[in-house]
Amino acid sequence: MKTVDGGCFSWVRRASFEGGFFGPIVSGVRGKMLPYQWLALNDQVPDGEKSSCIRNFRIAAGLEKGEHGGFVFQDSDLAKWLEAVAYQLCLSPDKELETLADGAIDLIEKAQMPDGYVNTYYQLTDISRRWTNLRDDHELYTAGHMMEAAVAYWQATGKDRLLKVMRRMADHIMGVIGPEEGKLHGYPGHEEIELALCKLYDVTGETKYLHLAEYFISERGREPNFFVQEQKRLGRDYQNAGAFGFAYGQHHLPLKDQETLEGHAVRALYLLCSAADVALRTGDETLKEACRRLYRNVTGRRMYITGGVGSSHIGEAFTFDYDLPGDTAYAETCASIALVFFCRRMLEIELLGDYADTMERALYNTCLAGMSLDMQRFFYVNPLSADPEASRRDDRKKHVLPVRPKWFGCACCPPNLARLLSSLALYAFSVRDRAVCLHLYVQGNFTLDTQNGPAALKVRTEYPRNGLVNLTLGMGDYDLLLHLPGWCKEYHLSRDGKKTHPPAENGYLKIEGPFMETEIILDMRLEPCRVYANERVREEIGKTALQRGPVVFCLEEKDNGPCLHQLSLSRNEPLIDDADPSLPGGMAIRAGGLRQKPASDELYTQTPGQKERATLTFIPYYAWANRGENEMAVWIREE
């Protein structure tokens, strides 16, 4: 079964994950996460926040009576769940899961109105108000997620019921919004539908969908400002536009004129995803350059070491360059997922290792931190330090939760994570003409279609637990491009037992084919190191963080005692690798350090406190908060 994340992505004919780091995670999505999320969507998780998602569709379909529950975008949770199911069905058949999905699609089809419209919020509140508030009510965002699910489900199963439903919805939208006279000259408040329209274009060949995506991007930020006019029609003054102004929704300037990425982090990165998608399909070089420029701004000045983005809980937004406070960080899980999506698209624009490095950073840290190790609890916010007492008693930090909840009323992140992890093969690999590109080192068996025919790869690796990657390449006339991560300073490469030294170009090692059941071994030296923030990041000056390969580590109170801010690490202290299966994540870094002890109980004193030796234990950041409520810190003072 062929699958593709948008037509710009390389075709993956077959993928199976076996063992390694990600094997249990990908299979856990199917066996644990998706069944759990189905219960949540049906309001069957004890003590979990109510979703009302499936119930809304049942009411809209006329199967029961009631009022709409949840947010205006509640339908999108089901859409992302369906997309994740589709990717899982691409990996291997599952009759029970497919039957659940077919039942959900049946509900969506029954809920659709004769004119093609489907959105349970407006259908169950006041249908006369549809398309009157594009800024706030997320009709286009919700439709976009359902379109993505429709494309993925058709590719996975060959069943086109949902695809037909969403083509009717897309055609309905085109009758309401667009550049033509008499239509709304608008765009989404929350970007997403643009990249979904590109996928619809890919599978249908209908250029009208690509043109609408292009229109949404080009119209955004133009004068007269659509949202100002729209809100005026609703009797609202929108000139001040809140704390971030028009930049909150990325309509302060046309995208091609923006120098910094602003506003709500998820919206901004979905806009960049769709800009990259449109640029790839149209060849728009100015749009490509805007993507490059804004990528450099985000990753060079506005990204946490964990790959988290969006530093303010007010507006879930970017603020300004080098403003990266750890204890009030927002760093929404969805924002890092969107960063992964964007980096993967940028790898299609140009094969640069830096995009793969950022993709790794976000994936192995903030994305994985968004779920518990048992895949039954989830984080929306991903801070770089946490104090349970502050979360309870300080309003500025109430968004920083010390434990993962079972579910959220606003549950965009859990199903988003499920669809990312289920489609991991599409991020690990791509094809450029005759070359297979390996961006992420994941264990499994994969077959990809190249310009010269299929290429079969068997990958065996425990990465990132160690840096050894063993590849068996099936017979074929293709080349192999291996990502050499930016953190890697020393490596060895062999081909059929003989050392080889291909030059690294733009972060990739090129091994030329053809291949005849060839064995490639890449051995990257992977050891703990200290990382320092730019001195303009005021909260982290004088501090260091520990990283091993792509994985960032943190301190937890469970291992190091309370008051983590009293701890420090000597610059000369050796960092010891420890594969400790008793710790969350099964990896640890240990080092000797110091604990500052107060001289007295007085609030202020002229006598400095004393320092005593302490043994410090760091665990992977993605594994924190799996042992109950306790303090956490990524950055530590350095002596």
Contact predicate 261/318, CB 8 Å: yes
User: How do residues 154-199 score in pLDDT, each as one tens digit?
Assistant: 999 999 999 999 999 999 999 999 999 999 999 999 999 999 999 9
Edge-to-edge order in the sheet of strand 504-505: 429-432, 435-438, 479-483, 508-511, 504-505
Residue 86 has pLDDT above 60, yes or no: yes
Question: What is the per-residue pLDDT for 409?
Answer: 85
User: How do residues 506-532 score in pLDDT, each as one tens digit?
Assistant: 999 999 999 999 999 999 999 999 999
User: How do residues 397-440 score in pLDDT, each as one tens digit?
Assistant: 999 999 999 988 888 999 999 999 999 999 999 999 899 999 99
Contact predicate 553/547, CB 8 Å: yes
Mean pLDDT over the full length of the chain: 95
Residues 6+ positions from 596 with CB-CB distance below 8 Å = 566, 567, 568, 609, 610, 611
The mean per-residue pLDDT over the stretch 6-30 comes to: 82
Residue 2 has pLDDT above 80, yes or no: no
Residue 270 has pLDDT above 70, yes or no: yes
User: How do residues 608-622 score in pLDDT, each as one tens digit?
Assistant: 889 999 999 999 999
Name the residue type at position 216.
F
Q: How confident is the model at residue 503 (pLDDT cuts 50, 70, 90)?
A: confident
Same fold, 12-428 and 433-524: no
Percent of the chain residues past pLDDT 90, beyond the cut: 93
CA distance 479 to 530: 35
Residue 9 has pLDDT above 60, yes or no: no
Decide if domain 433-524 falls under CATH 2.60.40: yes
CA distance 427 to 340: 8
The mean per-residue pLDDT over the stretch 19-29 comes to: 97
Ordered by start, the domain boundaries in the chain are: 12-428, 433-524, 531-638
Question: What is the per-residue pLDDT for 237?
Answer: 87
Question: What is the per-residue pLDDT for 3?
Answer: 39
Residues 6+ positions from 429 with CB-CB distance below 8 Å = 10, 12, 436, 437, 438, 439, 446, 448
Q: How confident is the model at residue 12 (pLDDT cuts 50, 70, 90)?
A: confident
C-alpha triplet 626, 627, 631: angle, nearest 5°:
95
| Token digits of residue 473 | 């390449």
Question: What is the per-residue pLDDT for 11?
Answer: 67
CA distance 439 to 480: 11
Question: What is the per-residue pLDDT for 7?
Answer: 34
Looking at the chain, how many residues does it have?
639
CA distance 49 to 35: 17
The mean per-residue pLDDT over the stretch 274-283 comes to: 98
Q: How confident is the model at residue 240 (pLDDT cuts 50, 70, 90)?
A: low
CA distance 460 to 441: 9
Separate counts of helices (H) and strands (E) for the chain = 20, 22
Distance in Å from the first CA to the final CA of the chain? 56
Cβ atoms within 10 Å of 260's Cβ, excluding its own: 15
Phi and psi at residue 269, in whole multiples of 5°? -75, -30
Cβ atoms within 10 Å of 132's Cβ, excluding its own: 15
User: How do residues 446-492 score in pLDDT, each as one tens digit?
Assistant: 999 999 999 999 999 999 999 999 999 999 999 999 999 999 999 99
Residue 391 has pLDDT above 70, yes or no: yes
Residues assigned a catalytic role: 316, 412
The mean per-residue pLDDT over the stretch 16-28 comes to: 96
The mean per-residue pLDDT over the stretch 557-578 comes to: 96
Question: What is the per-residue pLDDT for 279?
Answer: 98
Residues 6+ positions from 248 with CB-CB distance below 8 Å = 241, 242, 262, 263, 264, 315, 317
Question: What is the per-residue pLDDT for 241?
Answer: 63
Kindly report which listed range (1-15, 73-87, 389-403, 560-574) carries the lowest average pLDDT score. 1-15
Name the residue type at position 508.
Y
The mean per-residue pLDDT over the stretch 360-387 comes to: 97
User: How do residues 329-356 score in pLDDT, each as one tens digit?
Assistant: 999 999 999 999 999 999 999 999 999 9
Q: Of the CATH numbers 1.10.1740.10, 1.50.10.20, 1.10.490.130, 3.30.420.40, which one belongs to the domain with range 12-428? A: 1.50.10.20
Residues 6+ positions from 393 with CB-CB distance below 8 Å = none
Q: How confident is the model at residue 598 (pLDDT cuts 50, 70, 90)?
A: confident
Characterize 567-585 residue by residue with b for buried, 16 or more Cβ atoms within 10 angstroms of its Cβ, and e for exposed.
Answer: bbbeeebebeeeeeeebbb
CA distance 430 to 41: 33
User: How do residues 98-138 score in pLDDT, each as one tens digit?
Assistant: 999 999 999 999 999 999 999 999 999 999 999 999 999 99
C-alpha separations of 475 from 453, 455, 456, 514 in Å? 10, 7, 8, 7
